[in-house]
Structure 1
Amino acid sequence: MLNEALLAIGPVPIAAGILLLLVAAVYTHRFSSSKSATAGKLKLDPETLQIPQTISPKIPYIGHVLGFVEDGHSYFSSLCARTSLPVFTIRMAKVKLSIVKPELARHLPKVRHFSLSPLVQQLFGRPLALGEFSRSLLKEEDEMSRKFGPEVSRLFREEFIPNKNLRKYVEEIDGYVLREVGAMKSGQKIFLEDWIFKTLVGALGKSLWGGDNGPFSDPEFYNIIKNLDTFLMNMKRLNAPFNFMIDEKLLTARRFVRERLEAFSFEEYAEKCARGSTDAIKETFLGRVRELCITYGAATGGWTDYQLLLIAGLGPNVMAASTWMFHHLADPELLTQVRSELDEFVKQSEGSIDVANMSEACPLVLATWYEVLRTHGGFSLGRYVHEDTTLAGKYLLKKGSYTLAPLRPHHQDRQIWGAAADQFLPGRFLKEDGSLDELQRKLRVYGVFGTLCPGRYLAVHMAMALTVRLLLAFDMTPLNGSHKPPSENKDTIAGLATPALDVEVVMRRLENAPEGLEISFKSNRQEF
């Protein structure tokens, strides 16, 4: 089984996102198909199709598994570098993986019979301790459950792409961020990744999960976030086949979060909505997600499972990207230039900035964000093959296998990014006059299988709001001296890799920090 091979193929983060949202929400899904294709199974001619050549590991049977355990997603990228084949197959225990290199990735959106939900079930079933009903729904074993993925994708597009919804979420989330930044004292010590996780995931949770009426309003909110951080950042370890192989601390953290979510009564939440304290229940995001799950056969007893899947898809990617943003902004020269842009933006905006205008007003800030996605977007995107199908009209992908597209070979390609592709250089995304160019369109963190992460706009606006708030209010000084970006965590299961080390910094409030700064989203455009 895939879990037993410890395979961790990233879903879309959420582009979340922000990936997600980076990279991508875990429910973002559809069966990709060519517009000219007819319904039903493909008529395949085995004599004219090639089965991707198998690359054997150095250590028979377990070599590829050990390679992934040691190097994470970088192992798949290293395999791509070792062969001239545009697509090849590896076996990890009983799992068959077809790995697609960048030169064939443009054909992936046209491939039929790809599915995401069964892959999500394999990746997240054990780490999140999903129940049998939830796993059955994600396996898409019947016609009803196969309609679930496209409907969830539609719901996410309707929720996170329209400007009116973005405006609401940006302002709500910034309100929570402002509260956390305002509560920070000069001289306070924080662990950077931990603070960003609590702030962003907490803000996102409150905004999407019913505000003061939802589970993130629990008096033990910070304990929930702390334990959520502990187990979401260690899902690869939670994927071990037996509990005795897992650190008890991780099992305790997962149990704590599940118990708190299970204690949240959706019926009480609905009653509060009906009393007018918030919008009517059917108009809330939480209510629509629940109604959709039930419509397609999900058991009400599995509601905690569906919430955890949403949190796992929506939160970690934007947190990882934002953390890397501040690590790289520790470079004194880059920080000075970025602050100069932000100061001028605030001055010209008279204390009320529209984050939708940042691409024009602060191109270096956005260029730094794009370079973070490129540099740390070395994860892999995958799909399950639920019927025999073809790639590029030449290669046969067998039913029951998985197709994987590592992103690092593309994001490190010197023909695209220049001779210094291995260096962190935000300027590569700028024209000679300092404005943004179109190079960001070559980033693939938002998807390669024909469906882009619907949360990508929300993710970047969240990150921009946090960047503005922190950079204009505080200086960060690491306790251990120089602040250099740490190495990447190889245990990240999905989306952007998190830092391998959480850096402790001292926050010192700037004397000229702007007072009463307002952040909004007013423009009728989406530049990111």
Structure 2
Amino acid sequence: MLFVDFTLARALRVFTYVSASYFLIWAALWLLETFLCKASDREPPVIKSRVPFLGHALRLWSRGISYYQVLREQSDLPIVTVFFGTQKCYVVNSPDLITQINRQGKRVDRTLPLMTVSAGKIFGIHGDDFVQLTSGTTLKGSLRSDLQVMEHSSLEAGTESLKEIHENLTAQVSDVLNGLATQDPVNLDLQDWLQKTLTKSTARTFLGPGNPLDQSAELVDSLWIMESSLKALTMLPYPSVTARKAVSARERLVQAVMKDIGSERTRSRLTCGMEQRLWEISERHKTSTEFLARYELGLFTGFVINTVPAAFWLLGHLSTDKKLASRVRDEVNISVKTIGPAGLTLDVNVLRAQCPLLVSTCREVLRHISSATSTYWVQEDIHLSEGFVLDKGAIIQIPAAAIHSNPAIWGESAAEFDPERFLKREKIHPSANRTFGGSVCPGRHLALDQLLTFTAIFIHTFEIELLPETPRLPAQEVTNVLSVKKPESDLRVRIARRASICGKKWMFCQEIGLGMETALVQKASDI
């Protein structure tokens, strides 16, 4: 009896201590929120968390990009105010408000938040290089201004520069596909194969043949190790400790690229005009070799980590829906041209014009998986037509995951995958499509062109089917903070070359040569 009394008394003391500690912590957080997290009546409604001060940050960490969808569903408001610690943030869910914000010009800074997260936290640009990159971002002739002009002009739709990059990248990918399953069907893990294939092809395009990733499978793995821990890199303090594996993988890549930049043969090896312009800007602003390596790595990585998941979901949907695959293939067959007796080629502009179902399927995949959160810094007070005022010093976030899942915008089928969605006449607000972060991402045209071309080549060349180990598409990973949702697991598939394509070879760029004008060109469907 005495033992029972002693145990009960001890349990009560522990309970009292824990309860008191919890109350004191909660009270301290409540005081911090009360005195440091203030918003006026003019601002959008404040959404508070059950845990004061840190609640929204903790929910973002635990839920990832799905947090924004939950926030929209719970509030059902076009715009809300939340606090991540002391940082005031306006989360925008309304396409009309997005349009108004996009017209604010210099009242918002679209550069600084991106540079802080991408260049600083993810790729580790630091010291004088980071100060120079983030200083005078709106001044003509500043480092960031020159880089921004270079990126957007190099990747602008319809430019020769974009055409050059797209054709070179397509040539690299088609070389791999030309050698795939030439004799017998092959079984492969789709995501793993895409990561290796598209990483190396993209590296050859941007960094030139013989680049470090071209020569080292370990470096390719390092890139995807880093990618898998982007949430820790961007959200946790002391990343060298809290995201040690990701930092180690990143630094292996940086050191390899730095060593490559120092090689005398590297400059002569660069065939990408965009990369050449990047080197010229780096020299003009006298940045360090380390800055060039980290920024170069950032450009390349930003493209590949978005296109790989998108290609996975595109091929995944085509492999699970044979009727859709057949209809898309029929469209593509009409667009493919032959060169001589055994050459095949196609033009992305023809795909856009003649393959509406392929384009719609691609756009629907991107709507379904896009989770980019555009972040702006408010530099001057902004007055919205609804009467709200956005205060200087706050940040604005526009989450694709919340907007793309909103039935008020996309109808009751918003959560469903509908490959014909973009063939329908229903008018969708232009600001509701946040693929690749809306109009902010300079690489969005290249990404879409590459997805269309890669899918067209693949579906024209191969039959793809799921193996019994993975009989259905995996679920989306929604607790990360990537700009595109990855699958929770890989997909085991069988790839078989179609009989009509045996002995044929895809040809692009220099492979076509000067003889293209005189080559016998006929419809692929006539083969």
When normalised by structure 1's length, the TM-score is 0.77
Deviation at 1:429, TM superposition (A): 1.5
Structure 1 position 156, deviation (Å): 2.0
SS in 2 for 1:126: helix
Q: Within 5 Å, which residues of 2 pair with 1:500-511?
A: 500-511=488-499
Q: 2:240, 2:247 within 8 Å by CA — same for their partners in 1?
A: no
Secondary structure of 2:42's aligned partner: coil
Which of residues 89, 103, 110 in structure 2 aligns to 1:116? 110
The residue number in structure 2 matching 1:98 is 90
In the alignment, does 2:46 pair up with 1:54? Answer: yes
Distance in 2 separating the partners of 1:406 and 1:500:
21
**1:240-389 aligned within 5 A:** 240-243=236-239, 245-246=241-242, 248-266=244-262, 268-269=264-265, 273=268, 284-296=273-285, 298-330=287-319, 331-346=321-336, 351-389=344-382
**In structure 2, what is the equivalent of residue 19 of structure 1?**
none
Tell whether the 8 Å contact from 1:133 to 1:302 is kept in structure 2 after alignment. Answer: no
Q: Pick from 163, 174, 178: which aligns with 1:182?
A: 178
**What do residues 248-295 of structure 1 show as CA deviations (whole Å, max 9, x unaligned)?**
54343223212211211256246x53xxx767xxx9322311332454
Shift of residue 438 of structure 1? 7.3
- Whether the 8 Å contact between 2:43 and 2:390 is mirrored in structure 1 is yes
Q: Residue 428 of structure 1 aligns with which residue?
A: 421
Q: What is the DSSP-based 3-state SS (H/G/I as helix, E as strand, rest coil) of the residue aligned with 2:501? A: coil
| One-letter amino acid of the counterpart of residue 444, structure 2 | R
| C-alpha distance 228-242 of structure 1, shift in aligned 2 (>3 A) | same
- Gap change, CA 1:440 and 1:165, over 3 Å in 2: farther
The change in CA–CA distance for 1:402 and 1:294 in structure 2 (over 3 A counts) is farther
Task: Tell me: CA distance 1:303–1:55, structure 2 relative to 1, closer, same or farther (3 Å).
Answer: same
Deviation at 1:519, TM superposition (A): 5.3
Question: Which residue of structure 2 aligns with residue 77 of structure 1?
Answer: 69
| Per-residue Cα deviation, 1:58-92 (whole angstroms, up to 9, x for no partner) | 22222212211222112112212222443221111
Which is worse superposed, 71-80 or 234-243?
234-243
Indicate if the aligned counterparts of 2:310 and 2:366 stay in contact, CA closer than 8 A: yes
Alignment map for 1:220-231 (pairs within 5 Å) = 220=216, 222-231=217-226
What TM-score do you get using the length of structure 2 for normalisation?
0.78
Report matched runs for 1:454-473 at 5 Å: 454-473=442-461
For 1:255, the aligned partner's letter is E
Over the aligned positions, Cα root-mean-square deviation in angstroms equals 3.3
Please state how far the C-alpha of 1:367 moved relative to its aligned partner.
0.8
Alignment correspondent of 2:483? 495
Structure 2 residues without counterparts, runs of 5 or longer: 1-38, 517-527
What amino acid does structure 1 have at the position aligned with 2:435? V
Q: 1:417 to 1:278 in 2, by over 3 A?
A: closer
- Report the identity percentage: 22
Equivalences for residues 401-480 of structure 1 within 5 A: 401-431=394-424, 441=430, 443-448=433-438, 451-480=439-468
> Which position in structure 2 is the counterpart of 1:18?
none
What residue in structure 1 maps to residue 34 of structure 2?
none
CA drift at 1:400: 3.0
The amino acid that maps onto 2:114 is: V
Distance of 1:357 and 1:488 partners within structure 2: 32
Corresponding residue SS for 2:82:
strand
1:486 paired residue number: 474
Q: Give the Cα separation in 1 of the matches to 2:384 and 2:59.
A: 26
3-state SS of 2:487 partner: coil
1:184 positional shift: 2.6
C-alpha separation between the residues in 2 aligned to 1:122 and 1:373?
Answer: 26
Shift of 1:398: 2.9
- Inter-partner Cα distance in structure 1 for 2:428 and 2:465: 33
Q: Which SS does the other structure have where 1:426 is aligned? A: coil
User: CA–CA distance in 1 between the matches of 2:90 and 2:42?
Assistant: 12
Report the structure, 1 or 2, having the larger helix content: 2
Q: Distance in 1 between matches of 2:239 and 2:411?
A: 46
Give, in angstroms, the shift of residue 57 of structure 1: 0.5
1:107 to 75, 100, 108: 100
Using a 3 Å threshold, how does the CA distance of structure 1 residues 81 and 349 change in structure 2: closer, same or farther? farther
AA aligned opposite 1:129:
G
Offset of 1:415 from its aligned partner? 4.5
Which residue of 2 is the match for residue 88 of structure 1?
Answer: 80
**Which residue is equivalent to 2:193?**
195
| Residues 94-120 of structure 1 deviation map (CA, whole Å, 9 limit, x = unaligned) | 322111221411111122432233212
What is the aligned partner in structure 1 of residue 56 from structure 2?
A: 64
Q: Deviations over 1:146-175 (max 9, x none)?
A: 944343232123212244223322321122
- Verify: 1:212 aligned to 2:205, yes or no: no
**Quick one: structure 1 residues 146 and 48, their matched pair in 2 at CA, closer, same or farther if it must change by over 3 Å?**
farther
